[in-house]
Copies of this chain bind each other. A is one copy, B any other.
């Protein structure tokens, strides 16, 4: 018998898309599904960026250099310098989305079987990248009750073994929305210096901080060789489909290793680099509007959630996600029930169960991640659905288990 590889079996399904067949079935039944489950913003991609592609005079769509077009790398260096990250074009490798930056980082920093410390809950695809690169994720749990702030340093120290090679953080955080403070970032840097670890910093949501200043890993001093920033234009310019990211480090040996992985796939997408480069034409005030819009939505969502009986929800300082604890038995069951068995005024809501964001089994069972990527009116309607659903749901407290319909028939 022909077998799929063990790693093919071990690869997890995306926690965002696992419920898609149930959402499709709901739509078939005529139910409108509000999508709070994925981080696909509804903000328009800047027309000046799309126009750059339309106006590009391309005769042959050639491979770009493996590290990306030199002009785009220079533009990107200027962007970083403007946000206080002192890097040059040579420190930047253009990647196919932030995803590829994660892949290059794990491949270049860790050997098979090495350990990667990650505060949980964390972006679900990290698990997939760890399986693909044969790296072991060691989670350090952060808690909803503390707003998902950095866990005590002692929790990290306890996890370090001779196989620990790197620490991966995400700030502003997906899925929690937490923004690490400068003090927290400094603590992590010191830990990495002390134990000789790489500090991989996923900063996909850099522009979206609402309550405190953003601190990049490359804002920290004295640890340049340890730091890799993993970046993407997906959220920054609402250009998820472009697939343009960046692997940024001042560690030359690491940059050279990552460059060899970049050569393997020849080049990042060409048209999308033209699009990305045109971001330099945006006015300095570009993010003001987007941030203001997200902030209004965040406040609406948090206010509505906190008013629902039994719901706990810290105020996230950044990104466009809210993690909430619901008064239910099991969020996987609940999210499926929302799509299969519930509707309110012919509408329902699709959420992401948080279990896929935890590496520790059993954690996050009552938690969900909601993305505020819809306009306020749609968000309000989605939250109406959730409110009604929580009142109706058979498994709405831990004590009350949902009745199993087939068991009912049998008894």
Contact = CB atoms under 8 A, between A and B. Distances in A.
Given A132-B107, A260-B13, A238 B60 contact: yes
Interface in A55-77: 55, 58-64, 66
Contact of A61 (B8, B45, B54, B111): B45
Contacts of A12: 260
Residue of A42, A58, A128, A198 ringed by the most chain B CB atoms within 10 A: A58
A62 B44 CA distance: 10
Contact of A241 (B5, B260, B269): B269
A196 B107 CA distance: 31
A340 to B, nearest CB: 22
Interface stretch (A139-147, A250-258, A329-337, A384-392): A250-258
**How many copies of this protein are present in the complex?**
2
Nearest to A267: B241
Interface in A40-60: 40-45, 50, 53-55, 58-60
Given A61-B241, A64-B241, A112-B134, A269 B266 contact: no
A410 to B, nearest CB: 33
B242 A271 contact: yes
B45 A240 contact: no
Interface string A218-246: 00000001100000001000111111000
Interface string A245-277: 000000101101110110111111111100100
B108 A5 contact: yes
A378 interface: no
Interface in A9-54: 9, 11-14, 17, 38, 40-45, 50, 53-54
A261 B165 CA distance: 24
Interface stretch (A93-101, A153-161, A305-313, A397-405): A93-101
**5 tightest Cβ-Cβ pairs between the two chains A and B:** A241-B270, A8-B257, A11-B260, A128-B264, A99-B265
